[in-house]
Amino acid sequence: MKFGKEFASQMIPEWRDAYMSYSCLKTLLKEILIFRQRQIMYRSPAKAPVKATSLKRKGSLFRTFSGLTSGYGNTSPRKDEEDEVILVSAMQVADEEQGEELRSYQTTFLRSTEEGSDFEQVFFRQLDLEFNGVIKFYQGKVEEVLKQAEELNIQMDALIALRIKVNDPHAIPPFINEKTSGAYPLEVIQEINTSGDGNEEEEEEEEEKKRSDDRKGYKMASLEVLNHIKLNDTAETPRSTVRSVFHLGKSELHYNKKELKYAQEKLKLAFIEFHEKLRFLKSYSFLNQLAFSKIMKKYDKITSRNASDAYLKTVDESYLGQSDEVVKLLERVEAAFIKHFCNGNRRQGMDTLRPKAKRDRHRITFFVGCFFGCSLALIVAIIVLVHARNLLQHRSRTAYMNTIFPLYSLFGFVVLHILMYAANVYYWTRYRVNYSFIFGFKQGTELGFKEVLLLGSGLSVVTLAGILSNLEMDLDERTQSYKALTELLPLGLVIVLLLITVCPFNIFYRANRFFLLVCLWHCICAPFYLVTLPDFFLADQFTSQVQLLRSLQFYVCYYGWGDYKQRDASTCNGSNIYKTIHIVVAVIPYWIRVLQCLRRLCEGRDSTQAMNALKYFSIIVAVVTRTIQTQIGQADGRYTETTTEIATAATDGRYMTIKYIALATSIFATIFATYWDLVMDWGLLCRNSVNPWLRDKLILPKKSIYFIAMVLNVLLRLAWMQTVLGFHEGRFLHRNALVAIVASLEIIRRGLWNFFRLENEHLNNVGKFRAVKSVPLPFSHEDRQKDL
């Protein structure tokens, strides 16, 4: 792999703009190369063309060993002053943003009188610009982590003091040995030393001397810090939310184990994220130094000059090469984490701080291919069976479509959504969208697209096998007496799927299942939980799975009321309670989003959430009116197999009134939601953007894809028109089949939305250079000077 591609692959995605622009400098070197090639051709036109030096890496069996401790510079001796090409000077420049003075480097090209020197001057100007930008970013990040380290010191002092106080409630300030469990005030020690006769005093002095010698190397932890701190009760539970409403976010310490456990978990996460940020900085420094070394070596190779020695010496002597704060902090953080959070177990501590990268397993690829092959075979078998038995014209066709089809369509919606998510993961990974960081997955537990495909294809095999077996059992005369038992097959599949989801054992990606359940619980309990991106992202997925929720409602009614014994859904469809719940079920996902938007609005994070809540409320009105229109049409017999009845019954005033209301509310909600999708969620339709009607930064290489996605989003959002305009079923298409197709189109639209929504979120993180999660600290200190 060429260095340019390797350099890009190892970049931290959120800091990509802060790295040295290797491709830009390489482009400038190509211009120098082209100029020199033309110069050679013009000077000797009659001779054979001379092969000029290229930028491509040449293979060689023998390479010079550069040593292990020589740094990035060339170890060859410096040439005479007459051979010097550049002169790098440092100067102090005021930084207007930070209000400080920074060291800036400027390169003077000493061969400016030579022909074609303009190209090389442009190269060094750009090189200085990149170098100064890298130093400025790195120095700013180092200062940032030093401040965070200072805050973590205070937090650790408070944690150790709290740990001592919880383990020994009788501990007395001001000092206590970190190793011993007892606590003695300084006055008591002095009183013991001065009491008794001379011999006892000498013995006690010797014992105290021994104890003081034993205590050497152990830091004495102060308990005074507990007098100036409070426990941060962040709004992450319904109880803490209520406390925050009444401004009770900070609570006094009660010195119990529950508080200690809470503080340890929070501070442990803070150390893990802080360590990851330090590793990012270390990698950033190393990669940029290596990139400057590579680009200067290429310059020397093209121009046959010796400028790399001087410039790389400047790089080594700069803040980027000389600063060792990050390395020292890494060592101290690792030592502190191992000692205080892993009981001195270095292997456990390093596995936590530096989790191993996931490895692709060939068996996953094998099973994905196997399950997809089985799925295709089962689909072909079902199609052949339907046509061979002429089931489309069978007398029980209507009963089957009204009962069994809605039961199995639930699994179809789930499989389709999983497949769309697998496609999202694939393209997020391909275009380096850091979806794992955005969703907040624990490092190493995120699912790749192959694992997601494994789940989707496995579920599709089970579902298709159930459909095929159900058809066979219904057609076989020997199983006619067991028809009630065969109807329980879909219910069994649902129960198995739910049991696997809540299974506490470490199988079937337990970490991801529990992450999903936690987000689902946060959605159910909205707005009592702090709204994070995974929470409202999951709620948005449910807004596109309304038909799945209605299928679950049908499961409860069909099996709860015993309709499965006669394969007749008239009890459910004819119940007014069922129809009312049918509307409520469709409203629930949108109502959850309304509550989440209001919660974020109350937190003061984003004032636009008021408009977002209004958008979902308008969708609620549109969904309710469309559902009522459909129910009225079914009650009046409009949705039948013949379209003439629909036309003759269209004169009913009540039906036409609700139809016009549904049409108006749906148009308004569609325009509102489409605008929000394209402008707010995707960040597109920017008139003054570098990319017209898109945004300044794009991830996909072709701009046309964004316009196609916008058009598809609009068209797929208009799928509701089949409900309002009466296109409910044709001659060969049952109404439930049409509903399933429309629901599938909405799932596909949501899959497209997912990719561009996360792309926009990723670019926002890139703009803010946000590559590490911000973990709330457990303690807040009133007076920092006192703690210090």
Please write the tens of the pLDDT for every residue from 750-777: 999 999 999 999 999 888 888 888 888 8
Task: Quickly state the pLDDT bin for 69 (edges 50, 70, 90).
Answer: very low
pLDDT score, position 97: 63
| More confident position, 395 or 184 | 395
Distance CA 182, CA 178 (A): 10
3-state class (DSSP) for residue 231: strand
Q: What is the pLDDT of residues 511-536, one digit of tens each?
A: 999 999 999 999 999 888 889 999 99
Of the listed ranges 169-178, 364-373, 388-397, 428-437, the least confidently predicted one is 169-178
Which range has the top average pLDDT, 289-298, 469-478, 595-604, 653-662?
289-298
Tell me, yes or no, if the pTM score tops 0.75: yes
Q: What is the pLDDT of residue 24?
A: 93
pLDDT-derived band at 189, boundaries 50, 70, 90? very low
> How far is 58 from 135, CA to CA, in rounded Å?
32
pLDDT in tens, 471-499: 877 766 666 666 677 788 999 999 999 99
Helix (H, G, I), strand (E, B) or coil at 589: helix
Report how far residue 277's alpha carbon sits from residue 763's, in angstroms, rounded to the nearest whole number: 19
Cα distances (angstroms) measured from residue 637 to each of 625, 733, 742: 18, 17, 22
Q: Residue 178: is its pLDDT beyond 50?
A: no
What is the arithmetic mean of pLDDT over 204-232? 62
pLDDT in tens, 315-347: 999 999 998 999 999 999 999 999 999 988 999
Question: Does residue 204 have a pLDDT over 60?
Answer: no
- Distance from chain centroid for Cα 283: 21
- Return the pLDDT at 731: 52
- 413 and 406 in contact (C-beta within 8 Å)? no
Pairing of strands 86-95, 100-109: antiparallel
Please give the structure tokens belonging to residue 687.
């008139």
Q: State the average pLDDT for the chain.
A: 82
Let me know: does 304 contact 178? Beta carbons within 8 Å: no
Query: Where along the chain do its domains lie?
Result: 3-55+85-146+274-353, 362-767
Residues in the chain: 788
Q: What is the mean pLDDT of residues 667-694?
A: 93
Give the pLDDT confidence score for residue 775 in this predicted structure: 81
67-81, 264-278, 374-388, 658-672: least confident range: 67-81
pLDDT grade for 647, boundaries at 50, 70 and 90: very low
pLDDT score for 196: 44
Query: What average pLDDT does this structure show over 149-157?
Result: 91
